[in-house]
């Protein structure tokens, strides 16, 4: 991300920290000084000193603290969010790049294409985005406030430190318990939620068989029970939090009472007691900010869990993730003498096959569902495995092939963006884009939707329409190797054949591989039949 944004984020955090400390200081002093003022005037009011008492200076300070607390709180909230948002932008852009380089994206079945997994992922990202605002910043100012007041207590009423420190230790102990048990509860919550969600998903996917066999209610209830057990784990965590909050809420009042008691025990009297009164009321004011103690801790544990979880996605990412620039290479053929076919998880499928993919003669991969067509296309594309293919005069590694290949996935999706952006054709002229849409018979539909610059979303299109947009992307691609995975899926037979024929005519000078489970009547193709 741009350094400008980083420096603005750093500035915002500094500002937010300043505001937060000011707000806390004003809040503490507002309570303390007000009480001190009342005490002093009450004593002064007993004697002639009332007339000479300088009332206006402390009164002005009190007004200043009142206004200062309000303003600084507002500033703290605003700059804190500004800083967190600036961090969010850079973190999310980096995360996007890292995710794009993660091998998991290229394997079968993109898990984050699934709504519930995506929602969990976004929760994690948000926990990461806002941990500093929710935990880091308040914890820092709270610690400063505590340090100042503890120091003050040590000077004014040393004996009061005994209960204060005992209580602080109790808070640490309870916090430690929450941290440990909480991390476990949170882990349990997550795994139960995920288990329940995937079980429910499996049940919904098999709704007809389950209902026919009379097993729906049992499966659905069990899946929902897992989700409720996850809520139960959350309940356990909240109960622990309540314990910590109780101890933390007692700190302010207990410290205030202890300061007064210690001062009284030390024999302090009259005006000398005013300083302890100030301190005691300051403790009370600080106590108010201790209320969110457990929430800070939970924000930290959620951040840690989120970090670990997100790390899972980007693990195994190669460092050099930039694409190879191979613009000048237009291979006439791709050759592999003994390609060991592999499933996406690395298991080998069948015996090695020899593969010759030549320009001008499309290759048809035919096979039943589960015969590994998509996996083979991904292997050719360099998305899985690290096979090397020979071309006319050189060897192409998997990474190099990734740059050469236009892989048309059968489960490709529509981005929430304009139609133009969805075609991924850079700044190609409108006429070219319309030509592509005509070729896939989507021009009318897009015109109705509002043209190339209309904003579209996945759910506005049927599966067949999304598939045709995907084929328009292939039409517009200029890569020398085109791999089409089930291009006629979700299309009716005649339309599928028309579009496929147009695409093959356009790609006549490129290497083309088409996978399909029903062989269309095409001339001049080599057919490879795949057995599982």
**Per-residue CA distances from 483 to 17, 18, 78, 266, 326 (Å):** 54, 57, 50, 87, 18
- Decide: is 382 part of the binding site for another protein (CB under 8 A): no
How far is it, in rounded angstroms, from Cα 207 to Cα 392?
A: 52
For residue 381, give the nearest of 396, 361, 394 by alpha carbon. Answer: 396
Chain Cα centroid distance, residue 169: 35
Binding marks (x or -) toward another protein, 472..511, rule CB under 8 A? -x---x-x--------------------------------
**Per-residue CA distances from 523 to 210, 211, 508, 516 (Å):** 44, 45, 12, 15
- Decide: is 455 part of the binding site for another protein (CB under 8 A): yes
- Decide: is 210 part of the binding site for another protein (CB under 8 A): yes
Residue 265 CB neighbour total at 10 angstroms: 11
How far is it, in rounded angstroms, from Cα 509 to Cα 161?
A: 85
* Cβ contact 377:334 at 8 Å: no
Among 11, 21, 85, 335, binds another protein (CB under 8 A): 85
Binding segment (CB under 8 A) for another protein, from list 122-130, 135-143, 145-153, 389-397 = 122-130
Among 121, 186, 283, 389, binds another protein (CB under 8 A): 121
How far is it, in rounded angstroms, from Cα 142 to Cα 337?
A: 68
Which CB sits closer to another protein, 68 or 362? 68
Q: What is the DSSP letter of 518?
A: S
- Decide: is 338 part of the binding site for another protein (CB under 8 A): no
Residue 281 CB, shortest distance to another protein, in Å, is 8
**Residue 147: is it exposed, middle or buried by C-beta count within 10 angstroms (0-12/13-18/19+)?**
exposed
* Cβ contact 407:485 at 8 Å: yes
Residue 202 CB neighbour total at 10 angstroms: 12
Which CB sits closer to another protein, 129 or 400? 129
- Decide: is 447 part of the binding site for another protein (CB under 8 A): no
- Decide: is 532 part of the binding site for another protein (CB under 8 A): yes
- In the block, tokens 């020398």 appear at 480
Which CB sits closer to another protein, 86 or 357? 86
Is residue 246 within a helix (H) or strand (E), and if so which, with residue range?
helix 216-265
Binding marks (x or -) toward another protein, 34..73, rule CB under 8 A? xx-xxx-xxxxx----x--x-x--xx--xx-xxx-xx--x
Which CB sits closer to another protein, 210 or 364? 210
Which CB sits closer to another protein, 158 or 532? 532
Which CB sits closer to another protein, 81 or 390? 81
Which CB sits closer to another protein, 198 or 333? 198
Number of residues located near another protein, criterion CB under 8 A: 153
How far is it, in rounded angstroms, from Cα 81 to Cα 87?
A: 10
- Decide: is 450 part of the binding site for another protein (CB under 8 A): no
- Decide: is 125 part of the binding site for another protein (CB under 8 A): yes
- Decide: is 410 part of the binding site for another protein (CB under 8 A): no
- Decide: is 270 part of the binding site for another protein (CB under 8 A): yes
Which CB sits closer to another protein, 6 or 444? 6
Which CB sits closer to another protein, 320 or 426? 426
Residue 454 CB, shortest distance to another protein, in Å, is 11
Burial per residue of 163-174, b for 16 or more beta-carbon CB atoms within 10 angstroms, e otherwise: bbeebbeebeeb
How far is it, in rounded angstroms, from Cα 363 to Cα 253?
A: 80
- Residues 131-150 within binding reach of another protein (CB under 8 A): none
- Residues 172-201 within binding reach of another protein (CB under 8 A): 193, 195-201
How far is it, in rounded angstroms, from Cα 399 to Cα 120?
A: 31
Binding segment (CB under 8 A) for another protein, from list 151-159, 160-168, 328-336, 470-478 = 470-478
For residue 224, give the nearest of 205, 200, 208 by alpha carbon. Answer: 200
Is residue 365 within a helix (H) or strand (E), and if so which, with residue range?
strand 363-367
- Decide: is 467 part of the binding site for another protein (CB under 8 A): no
How far is it, in rounded angstroms, from Cα 60 to Cα 53?
A: 14
Residue 524 CB, shortest distance to another protein, in Å, is 25
- Decide: is 221 part of the binding site for another protein (CB under 8 A): yes
How far is it, in rounded angstroms, from Cα 367 to Cα 516?
A: 7
Residue 202 CB, shortest distance to another protein, in Å, is 3
Among 162, 246, 395, 432, binds another protein (CB under 8 A): 246
Among 370, 444, 450, 451, binds another protein (CB under 8 A): 370
- Residues 426-445 within binding reach of another protein (CB under 8 A): 426
426: left (phi over 0), alpha (psi -120 to 50) or beta: left
Phi, psi of 362 (to 5 degrees): -60, 145
**Residue 60: is it exposed, middle or buried by C-beta count within 10 angstroms (0-12/13-18/19+)?**
exposed
- Decide: is 264 part of the binding site for another protein (CB under 8 A): yes
Which CB sits closer to another protein, 310 or 446? 310
Among 139, 179, 224, 390, binds another protein (CB under 8 A): 224
- Residues 273-332 within binding reach of another protein (CB under 8 A): 273-274, 277, 280, 284, 288, 323
Which CB sits closer to another protein, 56 or 523? 56
């Amino acid at each position: 991300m741009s350094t400008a944004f980083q420096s603005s984020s750093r500035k915002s955090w500094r500002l937010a920290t300043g505001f937060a400390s000011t707000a806390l200081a004003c809040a503490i002093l507002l309570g303390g000084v007000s009480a001190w003022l009342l005490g002093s005037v009450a004593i002064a009011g007993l004697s002639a000193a009332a007339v000479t008492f300088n009332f206006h200076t402390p009164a002005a300070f009190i007004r200043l603290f009142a206004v200062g607390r309000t303003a600084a709180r507002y500033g703290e909230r605003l700059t804190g969010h500004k800083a967190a948002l600036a961090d969010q932008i850079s973190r999310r852009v980096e995360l996007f790049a890292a995710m794009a380089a993660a091998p998991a994206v290229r394997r079968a079945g993109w898990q984050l294409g699934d709504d519930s997994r995506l929602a969990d992922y976004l929760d994690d990202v948000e926990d990461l985005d806002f941990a500093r605002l929710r935990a880091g910043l308040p914890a820092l100012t709270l610690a400063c406030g505590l340090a100042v007041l503890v120091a003050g207590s040590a000077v004014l009423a040393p004996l009061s430190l005994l209960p204060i420190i005992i209580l602080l230790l109790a808070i640490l102990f309870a916090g430690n318990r929450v941290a440990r048990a909480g991390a476990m509860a949170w882990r349990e919550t997550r795994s139960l939620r995920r288990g329940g969600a995937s079980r429910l998903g499996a049940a919904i996917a098999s709704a007809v068989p389950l209902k026919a066999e009379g097993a729906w209610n049992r499966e659905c209830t069990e899946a929902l029970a897992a989700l409720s057990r996850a809520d139960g784990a959350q309940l356990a965590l909240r109960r622990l939090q309540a314990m910590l909050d109780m101890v933390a809420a007692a700190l302010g009042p207990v410290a205030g009472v202890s300061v007064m008691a210690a001062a009284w025990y030390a024999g302090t009297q009259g005006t000398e007691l005013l300083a302890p009164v100030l301190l005691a009321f300051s403790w009370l004011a600080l106590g108010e900010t201790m209320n969110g103690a457990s929430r800070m801790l939970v924000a930290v544990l959620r951040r840690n869990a989120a970090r670990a979880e997100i790390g899972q996605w980007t693990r195994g990412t190669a460092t050099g993730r930039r694409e190879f620039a191979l613009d000048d290479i237009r291979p006439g053929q791709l050759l592999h003498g003994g390609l060991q076919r592999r499933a996406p998880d690395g298991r080998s499928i069948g015996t090695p096959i020899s593969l010759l993919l030549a320009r001008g003669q499309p290759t048809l991969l035919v096979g039943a569902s589960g015969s590994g067509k998509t996996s083979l296309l991904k292997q050719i594309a360099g998305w899985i495995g690290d096979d090397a293919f020979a071309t006319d005069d050189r060897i192409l590694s998997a990474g190099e092939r990734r740059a050469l290949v236009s892989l048309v996935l059968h489960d490709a999706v529509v981005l929430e963006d304009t139609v133009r952006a969805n075609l991924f054709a850079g700044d190609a002229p409108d006429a070219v884009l319309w030509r592509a849409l005509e070729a896939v018979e989507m021009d009318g539909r897009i015109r109705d939707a509002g043209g190339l610059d209309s904003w579209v979303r996945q759910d506005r299109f049927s599966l067949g329409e999304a598939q045709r947009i995907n084929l328009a992307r292939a039409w517009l691609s200029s890569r020398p190797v085109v791999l089409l995975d089930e291009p006629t899926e979700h299309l009716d037979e005649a339309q599928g054949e028309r579009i496929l024929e147009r695409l093959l005519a356009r790609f006549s000078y490129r290497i083309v591989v088409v996978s399909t489970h029903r062989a269309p009547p095409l001339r001049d193709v080599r057919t490879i039949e795949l057995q599982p």
